[in-house]
Structure 1
Amino acid sequence: MLKDLFNRRRQYVTVGTGEEAPEARQPRPAQERDVPKGLVQKCDGCGALILGKELQKHLYTCPECNHHFRIGARTRIDITVDEGSFREIDARLTSTNPLGFPQYEEKLEAAMRATGLLEGVVTGEAELEGVPIVIGAMDPGFMMGSMGSAVGERIARAMERSAESKRPLILFTASGGARMQEGILSLMQMAKTSVALQRMAEARVLFISVITHPTTGGVSASFASLGDVIVAEPGAMFGFAGRRVVEQTMRQSLPDDFQTAEFNLKHGMIDKVVHRKQMRQTLGALVRIHTARGWAHGE
């Protein structure tokens, strides 16, 4: 049944022609719309005032307390891959409104205007320290990175491309979970991406899941938790239900660091917590090691 759903999955998305998104929906450069605005930014962690140029130099982390500011998908990819190597794929693949959910089209249009993206994830091919990879980054600014049919389809296609090309896949997650406007079709993306990951496993291709703040709901319960290696940024929330829901269900209080990256590391749910300044170096080392060992070539 899952295989049948996987093979019939494309009926709930639309695909334009070409690889690039329409210019009309990219009104501002990625660096301008992805990052905090203004000459001075206040850190949510320690309250320090940081000059915009200083914040950019520190990869949008606080030089005082190491708080990680939220960044968009394109900025995330820009600071990770080799300069000029990224080529976006499936850029014109978007969701329809299969359930006729009221005002869903308006919400999509608003998210497109706010981010300059057509959907909540950007995927493509690139190089990382000279190693060819497939990469994807979810954008928390697009309906909180929620996973609808198009997001799931883009991610599944990236996984398929990775399996076929034998390129390692790196996927940055940031999501509030399934997109409620698409109902059960959104929940189906959990199974679809998991099936695609099984194909990657059979092809012996490396999948690195990078958890950023926040990663919750259906994304945390599917592909985000299925990486061969799972790393997370400091302080990133990673869990299924929210803290209040868990406390009300269990009828007991939870630790202050509950669901943080550090809490998940302590309990064996992730492999490493990596500061954003060391993320590119860490990911580069991982793909080089596994490529050298023949992992990415099915040996």
Structure 2
Amino acid sequence: MLRDLFRKQKKYATIPSEQVKKDIPEGIMQKCPKCREILITKELEKNLNVCKACDYHFSMSAWERIESLVDTGCFVEYDQDLQSEDPLQFPGYRNKLQKDMEKTKLNEAVVTGEGYIGGYPVVLGVMDSRFRMGSMGSVAGEKIARAAEKAVQKRFPFILFAASGGARMQEGVLSLMQMAKTSAALQKMNRHRLLFVSVLTNPTTGGVSASFASLGDINIAEPGALIGFAGRRVIEQTVRQKLPDDFQTAEFLLKHGQLDQVVPRSKMRETLIRILDIHADRREA
């Protein structure tokens, strides 16, 4: 018995068997890509998909975003049945669309509708990067333009959350045309003196960053969001100089005047309510 008390401790760790690994449900934990902390998925979701260790902002689905912003039970979706076609008969495009529809339970890369935020009526658009990386095809551009038209009809502010890899290559020039369409719809809002708030999340790039995402009366971004048009390597090869490490981050753009504010996700709703409150009299006039 005394010999057992002074037994040497093992200097090696036990590696779980493959069966033990299989018994752990998939998706119960996630690793933060920034600080490498292991996070429990349910706790991460409770914290609005923000890492408690380093404040890294994970991506959010469109409906997670909507639920975190709008007053409970008041969101009415627009144009839910619109779906992309395959105008150029691009190889494999229809299958990819179908897979994304099944995976995300969405018909397109953006959800639009109207609701209340802090009691203020708004038209809201939220892009979802899970659907074709949030790329802007004909239907995505049409839904955003229609949402802007609704804002004009109802004289509501328009808040749009961008999350996109840019134009959708499978639709060619038809995708690029959405840059002009959405910009024209927002110009109509401007003529009617209606508020447009653009919120840029990670990532906001390509044709989306070069059109409606940068046209807000107020431009906001989430911390650490990648924002830009072309990639770092392309720009460095063009200008033939090394770019700063934080180039194309939200913080860099705020410092150089392209953004009005960088707002953590935990404070996004209260920030939007404050903006809506400031502009309420102008909207009703």
TM-score by structure 2 length?
A: 0.90
Is 1:274 paired with 2:263? yes
C-alpha displacement of 1:85: 0.9
Which residue identity is paired with 1:120? Answer: A
Name which of structure 1's ranges 155-164 and 47-56 shifts more when overlaid on structure 2. 47-56
The list of structure 1 runs, each at least 4 consecutive aligned residues, that deviate by more than 4 angstroms after superposition, is none
State the Cα deviation string for residues 264-299 of structure 1 (Å, max 9, x = none): 0011001000000000100111011101x32x23x3
| Structure 1 letter corresponding to 2:168 | R
Q: Confirm or deny that 1:191 pairs with 2:177.
A: no
SS of 2:160 mapped into structure 1: strand
In the alignment, the residues of structure 2 paired with residue 242 and residue 274 of structure 1 have an alpha-carbon distance, to the nearest angstrom, of 24
Q: Deviations over 1:189-209 (max 9, x none)?
A: 000001000110011110000
The counterpart of 2:200, out of the listed 187, 208, 211, is 211
Q: Which amino acid aligns with 1:127?
A: Y
Query: 2: distance between equivalents of 1:178 and 1:104?
Result: 14
Shift of 1:98: 1.2
Asked whether 1:225 is paired with 2:197, we answer: no
Aligned partner of residue 106 in structure 2, secondary structure: coil
SS of the residue 1:177 aligns to: coil
Equivalence for 1:156: 145
1:95 is paired with a residue whose SS is coil
Counterpart residue number, 1:202: 191
How many angstroms apart in 2 are the aligned matches of 1:82 and 1:49?
32
Q: Which residue of 1 aligns with 2:135?
A: 146
Equivalent residues in 2 for 1:46-195, closer than 5 Å: 46-195=35-184
> For the residues of structure 1 that align with 2:57 and 2:126, how far apart are their CA atoms?
16
Q: Percent identity?
A: 58
Q: Secondary structure at the match of 1:247?
A: helix
Select the residue among 273, 276, 284 that pairs with 1:284: 273
Q: More relative contact order in 1 or in 2 (CA 8 Å, sep 6+)?
A: 1
Number of corresponding residues: 260
CA distance in 1, matches of 2:56, 2:163: 16
Aligned to 2:236: 247
Structure 2 gaps, min length 5: 1-25
Shift of 1:110: 1.1
Q: Secondary structure at the match of 2:116?
A: strand
User: One-letter code of the match for 2:133?
Assistant: M
Residues in 1 aligned to 2:205 and 2:40: alpha-carbon distance in whole angstroms: 31
244-253 vs 60-69, which moves further: 244-253
- Rounded Cα–Cα distance in structure 1 between residues aligned with 2:59 and 2:184: 30
The CA deviation at 1:53 is 2.4
Amino acid at match of 2:186: L
Q: Note the 1:29-48 alignment, pairs <5 A.
A: 38-48=27-37
Structure 1: how far apart are the matches of 2:99 and 2:232?
29
**Deviation sequence 1:234-287 (CA, Å, 0-9, x none):** 000111101111111112111110000000001100100000000010011101
Distance 1:44 1:86 in 2: 32
Q: Distance in 2 between matches of 1:233 and 1:191?
A: 25
d(CA) in 1 for partners of 2:109, 2:189: 23
Aligned partner letter, 2:84: S
TM (normalized to structure 1)?
0.85
SS in structure 2 at match of 1:255: coil
Structure 2 equivalent of residue 17 of structure 1: none
The residue matched to 1:133 in structure 2 has which SS? strand
- d(CA) in 1 for partners of 2:147, 2:227: 23
Whole-Å separation in 1 of the counterparts to 2:233 and 2:112: 33
Unaligned runs of 5+ in 1: 1-36
